[in-house]
A and B are shown apart, each in its own frame.
Chain A
Amino acid sequence: MRSSRNVVKRPTMSHQGASGRLRYFFGRAMTNIRQNLFVNAVTVGTITLALLIVALFMLLVVNLENAAESWSERVQVTVYFDRDLASQEQADLQRRIQTLPGTAKVTWVSRDEAFRRFKMRLKGQDTLLEGVRPDILPTSFEIALKRNNRSSEAVEAYVSRLKTLPGIGEIQYGEEWVRRFNTFLTFMRLVGALVGGFLLVPVIFIVSNTIRLTIYARRDELEVMSLVGATRLFIKMPFLIEGLLQGVAGGLLSLLLLVLFYQLFLHNAGNFLTFNPASSGLAFLPVEFMVALVLAGALLGFLGSLTSLRRFMADN
C-alpha cells in the first residue's frame, strides 16, 4: 500500500460503548416490530395463550398443594393400648413417645374426655347415649407431629417406629387418603408438565415463523450488511431481541389475563378445598411462579427467533 492514509483509525465507541450498540439493536428490533405489527401481535397472542394454559395448571396445582398442606396440619396419630395400663406405665409410654423424633405434642385422652367428645359429635341426639356408661370408650394418646414430619412417607415411618414401643395397640391415622391425594397431586403436576411440553413445540414453531417473516422482509438489508462486513451476531441481534420482546410481552399478558380470570372467577371459589375459614378462596400464584412465567415467555421467544435465524443463516 503506497500510503497509510487510507488505513482508517476506527473511532472508539468510548462514550457510547456497549450501551450505544445495545440501543442500536433495540432500535432495529423496535423498527422490525413496528413494520410487522400484525404478525408480531399474532405471535404475542400465541405465546400468551400457551402460557395462560400452563399458568392455569400451575394455579390449580399450587392450590391443591395448599390444600394438602392445610390438611396435613391436622394429621394426627391416635394411639390405643393393647391392654389397660397402670398410670406409671402410661406416663413412661408418654415420655418415650415424646422423645420419639417427629413428635410435637402428646396428649392424654381419658375415658371421660373421649366420651365427652363423642357426645359433642352426637349433639341433639344425646338421648341415644342414655344408659351408655362413660367408660365404654378406650383411653388413648393423641400425637401431633412436627411440621416436617407430615408427609405421607414421614408419617408411615413414624408409625412403624411407634409400633415397636411396648403397650401400643391400634394406631389410627389418615394413611390411605393422604397417599392417594399425594398420588393425585403428582399426577396433576405431570399433566401440567406434559401440557406445557406439548405446547412448547408449536409455540416455538409459530414464533420461529413470524420472525422468519420479518427476516424475509429484510433479506436485502441483511445481505448488504453481510456484504459490507457485519458479523453474524450483529445481524442476528435485532431479531433475537425481537423474539425476546415478543416472549416477555406474551408472558406479561398471560399474567395479566390470569389475574383478571382469578379476580372474576376463582378467588371466591374453592373454599371447600381448604376447610380453612382464615384463608378463604383460592390462592394466587406465588411471585416465583410469576417470574418463571415471564422468563418462560422470554425463553420461548428467544428460542423461536434462534431457530429461524439458524435456518436463514444456513441458506445464506
Chain B
Amino acid sequence: MIQFHAVSLAYQQDATALQNISCRVTKGEFVFLTGPSGAGKTTMLRLIYGALTPTRGQVLIDGQNISRYRRSQLPLLRRSIGVVFQDFKLLQNRTVFENVAITLEVLGWDRGDIGRRVMHILRQMGMESKIHLIPQRLSGGEQQRVALARALVNSPKILLADEPTGNLDDANKQQIMNIFKEANVKGTTVVVATHDRRLIEHAHYRTIRLLGGELAGHEGVGDAVIP
C-alpha cells in the first residue's frame, strides 16, 4: 500500500530531514511511526499525502510513484487518504459541522448526502451535540475528534494520524485508539505517528522507529519490512 524506496528529503540544501528511508506498509495494516521530536515523523507523513516530494528515492502508493503524478492527479490521491494533522488545521471561523463537511464539499457531494454522512460520523465520535460550535469552544480532545471525523468522513483507504493523542487524558486516548482500530477493522490502512511509548506498548502493532531522519529499526509483528 505504502512503500518508501531509499527516500531522502532535505527541506533546505544542507538540512536533511530524512536520510535513505526504505520501508513498507501493507494493505490493511496498523503501524506506529515513532521517534523523538525532530526525527522526521511528520515529514514522512507529508511525503505520503504528496505535500512534499522526495529529494531522492521514491514514494509509492498502491504501486504508483506519486512524485510522477501530474498536478491534477494529486487531489485524487488525497481523497483516498485521511489525515489528522499534528496542529489539527481546523478552520476557526467554521462550525464543527462545516469543518467536517469540507471533505465532502470538495468532492461535489450533494447537500443532503453531506448532511447525513457528516452527522453519522460526528455521532460516532460522540460530537453530535457540538456540531454548531466553532473549534475555539471545544476542548483539545474534542478538537482532536473533529479532526479525526474530517479525516474519516470519506472512508479513506489510508488514515494518517500525526501525534493524535498529544494532550489527551487516558480515557480520551483510549477512545481515539478505539476509533482507529474500528477504521482499521473496516479495512483502512492506519499509520499513527507518535512518541507516546505507553500508547505503543498498549496496542500490539508493528512500529517503525526513526532517529535523526534515519530508520532506527522495526519492532513487533510485521511482514517483510524492507522490500
Using CB atoms and an 8 Å cutoff, list the residues of chain A in contact with chain B: 1-8, 10-11, 13, 15-16, 20-21, 24, 220-221, 223-232, 234
Contact = CB atoms under 8 A, between A and B. Distances in A.
Contacts of B102: 221, 224-225, 228
Contacts, number: 81
B106 interface: yes
Interface of B is mostly: loop
A240 B154 CA distance: 28
Given A220-B91, A229-B78, A11 B72 contact: no
B110 A223 contact: no
B42 to A, nearest CB: 13
Contacts of A21: 108
A55 to B, nearest CB: 40
Nearest to B154: A8
B137 interface: no
Contacts of B72: 231-232
B108 A228 contact: no
Given A8-B155, A221-B102, A234-B106, 17 more contacts: A1-B28, A5-B186, A5-B187, A6-B187, A7-B155, A11-B110, A11-B113, A21-B108, A224-B102, A226-B75, A227-B78, A227-B83, A228-B79, A229-B77, A229-B106, A231-B106, A232-B71
Q: Which one of B76, B92, B106, B150 has the greatest number of beta carbons of chain A within 10 Å?
A: B106
Contacts of B196: none
B110 A15 contact: yes
Interface of B: 27-28, 49, 51, 71-72, 75-79, 83, 85, 89, 91-92, 94, 102-103, 105-111, 113, 150, 154-157, 186-188
Contacts of B85: 227
Contacts of B156: 6
Contacts of A7: 155
Contacts of A11: 109-110, 113
A223 B91 CA distance: 10
